[in-house]
Amino acid sequence: GAVVSQHPSWVICKSGTSVKIECRSLDFQATTMFWYRQFPKQSLMLMATSNEGSKATYEQGVEKDKFLINHASLTLSTLTVTSAHPEDSSFYICSARDPLTTSGGANEQFFGPGTRLTVL
Amino acid sequence: KQEVTQIPAALSVPEGENLVLNCSFTDSAIYNLQWFRQDPGKGLTSLLLIQSSQREQTSGRLNASLDKSSGRSTLYIAASQPGDSATYLCAVPGASYDKVIFGPGTSLSVIP
């Protein structure tokens, strides 16, 4: 299957700083990537849909000015948590859709390994 | 609005037992259903994907079934092993197909 990577795998930062998380599709081009957040012992919640060359679409309740998404190329999307606070500490997971994949259907998504963000 | 639930929330079994995890969804008009495994602090590992035209998929000791009309899917794990201990998530596409809606997960512990 297709491979999606994330960097960094974990990050610790001070309150008020900004943190950038990268999501890369390694062996396919992804016109669409997705960013999820997962709090401890909870399931994944979609934050936003990242579209190459256009603005991201944010889910209700997600602050677009706080979580900046850039999808500048077909293999890279970045999520920047601006002015991070302790309540932003979470596990952030990205996924990418391979438009050429037909085995699982048009909407099969491939997930990255996640980034653990801890804001002190 | 599609909603996904999973029962039980947690399950503890002795090694060697066969077990069944359940997933329910409210909107039966799904394109496919996917089962994932998540180890603590890790990302998702895709286990099985069942397309809407299929009734089941098998991979090793895992068997997933899908009954669209009743809005249910089950994940059957045969001869459980301690290494199977993890959280198991089911997921279905949202209304726009692009989005994936996850269930809350079942936390499985297999006791040696």
Q: What is the pLDDT of residues B63-87, one digit of tens each?
A: 999 999 999 999 999 999 999 999 9
- Residue A82, min C-alpha distance to chain B (Å): 23
* Residues β-bridged to residue A100: none
User: pLDDT for A22-61, tens place per residue?
Assistant: 999 998 888 889 999 998 888 899 999 988 888 899 999 9
Q: Is residue A76 over pLDDT 70?
A: yes
Question: Mean per-residue pLDDT for B82-103?
Answer: 87
For A1, which of B46, B100, B104 is closest by C-beta distance?
B46
Model pLDDT, residue A32: 87
How would residue A116 be classed by pLDDT, with cut points 50, 70 and 90? very high
Model pLDDT, residue A119: 96
Question: Mean per-residue pLDDT for A73-83?
Answer: 94
**Are the C-beta atoms of residues A93 and B83 closer than 8 Å to each other?**
no
Nearest-5° angle of CA A74, CA A75, CA A76? 105
Model pLDDT, residue A98: 73
Taking any CB pair shorter than 8 Å as contact, residues of chain B touching chain A are 31-32, 34, 36, 41-44, 46, 49, 51, 89, 93, 97-105
- Residue B49, min C-alpha distance to chain A (Å): 7
Question: Mean per-residue pLDDT for A63-80?
Answer: 93
Question: Mean per-residue pLDDT for B52-64?
Answer: 94
- Own/partner contacts of B24-28, CB < 8 Å, gap of 24 or more, are B24/B71, B24/B72, B24/B73, B25/B71, B25/B72, B25/B73, B25/B92, B26/B1, B26/B2, B26/B71, B27/B1, B27/B2, B27/B71, B27/B95, B28/B68, B28/B69, B28/B70, B28/B71
Alpha carbon of residue A102 to chain centroid: 23
- The span from the CA of A23 to the CA of A6, in Å, is 5
**In 3-state terms, what secondary structure has residue A74?**
coil
For A46, which of B49, B99, B103 is closest by C-beta distance?
B99
Nearest-5° angle of CA A94, CA B87, CA B6? 95
